[in-house]
A and B are shown apart, each in its own frame.
Chain A
Amino acid sequence: MKRRVGLPIVALVAIVALASVLVSAASGRPETKSAKGGTYTVGWESSFGWTDSFDPTGEYLANAFAINTNLLLRGLIGYNHVGGPAGAKIVPDLATKVPKPTNGGKRYTFTLKNGVRWGPPVNRAITSADVKYAVERLARPKNGAQYGFYYPVIKGFDKYAAGKAKSISGVKTPNPKTVIFDLTKPTGDFLMRLGMPAVFPMPQEVAKCFEGKPGAYGRYVIASGPYMIEGSDDLDISSCGAMKPISGYDGQTRLNLVRNPNYRASTDSAKARESNPDRFEFIVNANIDDIYNKIGRGEYDDSYATASPKVFREYTLNASKRKYLHSNSADGTYYITMNLTQPPFDDVHVRKAMNWVLDREAMRRAWGGAVSGVVAEHIIPNSMLANRLAGFHPFKTPGNRGNAAKARAEMRKSKYANSGGVCTAKECKNVLLVTDVRAVDKLTLPIVQAGAAKLGITFAARSVNGAYPVIQTTSKNVPISNRARWFKDFADASTFIGPLFDGRSIIPSGNTNYSLVGLKPGQVDALGVKGTTKGIPSINAMNDKCQKLALGARRTSCFAGIDKVLTQKIVPWIPYMWANTVTIISPNVTKWNFDQNAGFTALAHVAVKS
């Protein structure tokens, strides 16, 4: 999913280093006092930044996932919205239990709980037809689904999407309480795919009015969770023409949620949702400093924002404020991407040498030090691999400061370098590096340049405001970029491997396999790739093998194996930090926890003084 909130920029390394030491023992642990009532207010930086206007069918923003899964909507399965590995455990939500797949891993049968109802104004029982409708809405191309690629494993999905079938044959609803999914092949992470809001039940009587208008349903979302958009009860659904946007969400600056009168806590679990506050307010604020001033004063309780260095120092150095700062693993990796087709990075020894030489600790300090994350040892965060690769750090150097001697020793093996391990070839001079214009990019760029310079590699850096579209366009043939980062969609390593390293996922525009791992010669012309296009290593077959495995130790170990091959043998990246989500809360918050699945505050469990 798309991350909206980044991490702070710290200008003074010395203060950050001190702050890192001081804060390392604190943070991340939940606050513990529950109390019903009150309003939980979240200050939102600059704009909501939705990818599809909050319409669940297409909305891919992580913050929207947090709001939907914690508060507004329920799916067949869900999570307990807690931190750490327990946060990745699948639990039943609308379904009575988490089913085991049958028919060789290709069938999942769900039974809906009794008493689960839509919020106002729909006011009826949630049925299996609502699930089927949501999946079919997602399949229809004109509805703007942004992660529909997860669901063609459902039988008949593609045929329906192509307009060649009247319904998706692989979604069966023999009665209002039963949903059966038949898949084309065993898919170990299918339950996790059902944990994403696009396939949560949707009331057809409302959503049908926005058919073919991506994003339009976002201002009319009907609740199935403990909260609804304020004003939902005033929505006139007698006809499509009668409908006006729900008043509690103005589309741009304010989203207010109040209790859903039709939600029954008896159909849910307090472990998953405590629903303590009476109200949630999400308020866009153009002034980031003002957000944190208001948190300090208790006018806001939380934020979806990037703290400034001043705020960061305030909360890390001030003992009385430190308890209000929480730092939790966000299950994401920040990295330098290297294009395997572009010299000098078409030589694995150069890529390995770059891994040896980069000062990862300096990169982490540029992002804010220890509170911002841990130095990455390999590609996928350990938290996503159940620590299967803990200690696996093939490019480990003392203090993670890089090692020029080892880098040059590696570089000597490359076709571009002299016997001293320094690149003398023209391919190493003025190599295009695409960076962004954020302040942190200006801090990390010199670190990358300094490291590469020790190997005789110089860069022609190009700053682009919003560099992603550039590095995502294969025909631009970008050799290297320091802009890249990736976060999970759900707690399975497949959400890293497939989009980032499977050669079949490479597309001309919007490509996320920046390194072009697995590129085949037959793809080259269509992608506009120039350079070294033969002999590009691939992990496609390994990925296929792992994808078939059910969730569990074998699957995790399988993906860990791919990580090892990528990190040590193919080396498409220089992963440098496994990022944390840093949250600053107000003194009014009496209970706080982290939702590992969503990567933000566990809104389902917060409590605030009323």
Chain B
Amino acid sequence: MPLYIARRLLWAGVVVLIVLLLTYAVFYLLPAGDPALRFAGKQPTPESLALVRERLGLDQPWYEQYGKFVKSFVAGDEFGWPGLGISYNTQIPVIDQVTERAPRTLLLILGAAIIWLVLGVAIGVLSAIRRRTLADRAAMGFVLIGISTPVFWLGLMALFIFWNKLGWTGGTGYIPITEDPGGFFSHMILPWTVLALLFAAIYARMTRNTLLETLGEDYIRTARAKGLSERKVITHHALRASLAPIVTMFGMDIALLVGGAIITESVFNIQGLGWLAIDSTFNQDLPTVIGVVLLGAVAVVIMNLIVDIAYAFIDPRVRYE
């Protein structure tokens, strides 16, 4: 197992570098015009533009910029390790920006993940064991609504009803938990729920389908024949066997949301990594774009690794060397 993890981490490094290379290439290939213009004022002179390009490193070919970035990324820079440079837009070290925004996104994902996992699996199990009953149909109705409803609409409706009209929750914005735990939960409950609903629907459906397949297996019949309670059959045998695809999907969903909960962050004004990604893209702020992409890539790689390790515990047949 340790050798397997080491090998995977090494490949993770290679994947991250390739992702960075592609990001650099796309940034320069997109026809968005000279990024130096964005920071040179309304009426730049050729001299001031040249200075801006020199200051931002934009006077070098993109592959040279990439090389310099990799070097400072690996060795660190004046702002710490990894060396991500400074934002063109705010003059704040990218690592500071990312580390300030990351907890908002990670807490958003964590809360939503707990909700969607619990809700999704519970509904899926209920639906599978009460197949073709009213409970099953209600569960699948929930799935349909959850998958079909656009997140932005759901978010705006939730704000309108629960905050604006009923006053049950806090409004938009983010309050750090260290500053005001009550305010934190009050402001996060709606974004958690809204983000979780789509995934809960998908997980409910997946849990139902895989559980139904598993419940048809011979060993489940054997377990019942041995006199085990239905509850034990489901939780200790059937569910465990059904977890593999859920774990896979869970890992990928968490990883993708690290850079991608843009809509929820915008609607609820959380200003996490998704907001940072969008804002820096529109402002042609390459160092910040790289920082967020990097974090996303690392998240995908690490979650993939965690998922694979988790398999070894879920399925005893899986061994890594």
Q: A residues within 8 Å of B by Cβ?
A: 1-2, 46-47, 49-53, 55, 58, 60, 141-142, 144-149, 213-216, 218-219, 250-253, 284-287, 289-290, 293-294, 297, 299, 464-466, 468-470, 472-473, 499, 505, 507-510, 512
Contact = CB atoms under 8 A, between A and B. Distances in A.
Contacts of B36: 509
B172 A287 contact: yes
Contacts of A510: 34, 37, 40-41, 43-44, 49
A370 B268 CA distance: 33
B159 to A, nearest CB: 8
Contacts of B45: 149, 507
Interface stretch (B89-97, B182-190, B293-301): B89-97
Interface string B185-227: 0000000000000000000000000000000000000000000
A2 B41 CA distance: 8
A146 B172 contact: no
Nearest to A48: B90
Given A286-B269, A287-B266, A469-B37, A1 B91 contact: no
A294 B170 CA distance: 12
Contacts of B171: 290, 293-294, 299
Given A53-B90, A499-B42, 13 more contacts: A2-B42, A47-B89, A47-B283, A53-B89, A144-B52, A149-B43, A149-B45, A214-B55, A252-B271, A285-B172, A287-B268, A473-B33, A509-B44
A332 B81 CA distance: 46
A286 B275 contact: yes
A305 B271 CA distance: 17
A473 B172 contact: no
B91 A53 contact: yes
Contact of A216 (B51, B91, B265, B282): B91
Contacts of A464: 31-33
Contacts of B90: 50, 53, 215, 251-252
16 contacts: A1-B42, A47-B89, A47-B283, A52-B39, A52-B41, A53-B91, A145-B48, A146-B41, A149-B43, A290-B269, A294-B171, A464-B33, A509-B36, A510-B40, A510-B41, A510-B49
B156 interface: yes
Contacts of A470: 31, 33
A144 B55 contact: yes
Contact of B156 (A47, A289, A509): A289
B19 interface: no
Interface in B259-286: 265-271, 275, 279, 282-284
Nearest to A476: B33
B149 interface: no
Contacts of A253: 271
A250 B92 CA distance: 9
B275 A509 contact: no
B179 interface: no
B261 to A, nearest CB: 12
Given A289-B156, A290-B269, A507-B44, A51 B49 contact: no
B316 interface: no
A284 B42 contact: no
Contacts of B41: 2, 51-52, 58, 60, 146-147, 510
A214 B171 CA distance: 37
Nearest to A486: B42
Contacts of B49: 507, 509-510
A328 B38 CA distance: 28
B47 interface: yes
B46 interface: yes
Band of interface residues on B: 35 or more
B84 to A, nearest CB: 15
Contact of A286 (B34, B37, B91, B266): B266
A70 B90 CA distance: 23
Given A215-B91, A510-B49, A473 B44 contact: no
Nearest to B41: A146
A309 to B, nearest CB: 15
A148 B41 CA distance: 10
Contacts of B235: none
B160 to A, nearest CB: 9
B99 interface: no
A270 to B, nearest CB: 33
Contact of A473 (B34, B270, B271): B34
A141 B46 contact: no
Interface in B74-115: 89-92, 97, 100
A216 B55 CA distance: 13
B269 A285 contact: yes
A412 to B, nearest CB: 38
A509 B275 CA distance: 30
B164 interface: yes
B186 to A, nearest CB: 15
A290 B172 contact: yes
Given A473-B34, A509-B49, A252 B269 contact: no
A216 B173 CA distance: 27
Closest CB pairs A-B (n = 5): A469-B33, A146-B41, A510-B44, A215-B91, A53-B91
Which of B48, B52, B55, B100 has most chain A Cβ within 10 Å?
B48
Contacts of B43: 147, 149, 499, 505, 510, 512
Interface string B52-67: 1001000000000000
Contact of A46 (B47, B52, B279, B284): B279
A55 B48 CA distance: 16
Contact of A50 (B46, B89, B270, B279): B89
Contacts of A2: 41-42
Interface in B15-39: 31-34, 36-39
Contact of A218 (B40, B91, B266, B269): B91
Contacts of B270: 286
A310 to B, nearest CB: 11
Contacts of A505: 43
Nearest to A284: B271
A468 B52 CA distance: 17
Given A46-B279, A285-B269, A286-B271, A251 B91 contact: yes
Nearest to B270: A286
B94 to A, nearest CB: 12
B116 to A, nearest CB: 23
A213 B91 contact: yes
A252 B42 contact: no
Contacts of A141: 47-48, 51
B32 A286 contact: no
Which of A219, A253, A509 has most chain B Cβ within 10 Å?
A509
Contacts of A46: 279
Contacts of B275: 286
Contacts of B51: 141-142, 144
Given A251-B92, A465-B32, A146 B42 contact: yes
B91 A146 contact: no
Contacts of A294: 171
B37 A472 contact: yes
Nearest to B152: A287
B45 to A, nearest CB: 6
Contacts of A218: 91
Contacts of B284: 466
Nearest to B164: A293
A146 B32 contact: no
B271 A507 contact: no
Nearest to A58: B41
A131 to B, nearest CB: 22
Interface string B155-189: 01001000010000001110000000000000000
Contacts of B267: 287, 290
A60 B51 CA distance: 17
A286 B46 contact: no
A146 B48 contact: yes
Contacts of A297: 164
B33 A252 contact: no
A60 B33 contact: no
